[in-house]
């Protein structure tokens, strides 16, 4: 959606539960534009409403979940796999819009 130096700014629509994963080399930025997002960590849940953000520190296992469709802004270094260390069917290719 936009580029900030060597970071990609992405807009994603999410619903349901993602997979537990970790990014070893980057923090992971989430900002809720619409709806509600739960970022599950192993020791607690982060609840984000509209206009709220959380940065998952690198190396911390997490699993985002949205019970209803939510619109999320992500900012990550270009080339960061969405599923972190866990390649699988949920690993996505990004697409410019």
**Does 75 interact with a copy of itself (rule: CB under 8 A)?**
yes
**Does 78 interact with a copy of itself (rule: CB under 8 A)?**
no
Shortest Cβ distance from residue 33 to a copy of itself (Å)? 5
Shortest Cβ distance from residue 72 to a copy of itself (Å)? 12
In the region spanning residues 28 to 67, those forming contacts with a copy of itself, defined by CB under 8 A, are 29, 31, 33-34, 51, 53-55, 58
CA distance 80 to 84: 7
Q: In which residue are the tokens 């960061």 written?
A: 80
Please name the residues in contact with 71: beta carbons below 8 A apart, sequence gap of 6 or more: 11, 12, 13, 32, 33, 34, 35
Residue 17 or 27 having the CB closest to a copy of itself = 27
Tokens of 47: 């609840």
CA distance 49 to 83: 23
- Interaction site with a copy of itself (CB under 8 A): 2-5, 7, 9, 26-27, 29, 31, 33-34, 51, 53-55, 58, 73, 75, 77
């Amino acid at each position: 959606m936009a580029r900030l130096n060597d970071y990609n700014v992405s807009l994603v629509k999410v619903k349901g539960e993602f997979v537990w994963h970790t990014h070893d080399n980057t923090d992971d930025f989430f900002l809720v534009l619409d709806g509600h997002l739960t970022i599950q960590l192993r020791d607690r849940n982060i609840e984000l409403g509209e206009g709220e953000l959380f940065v998952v520190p690198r190396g911390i296992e997490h699993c985002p979940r949205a019970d209803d469709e939510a619109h999320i802004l992500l900012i990550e270094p270009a080339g960061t796999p969405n599923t972190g260390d866990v390649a699988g069917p949920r690993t996505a290719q990004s697409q410019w819009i």
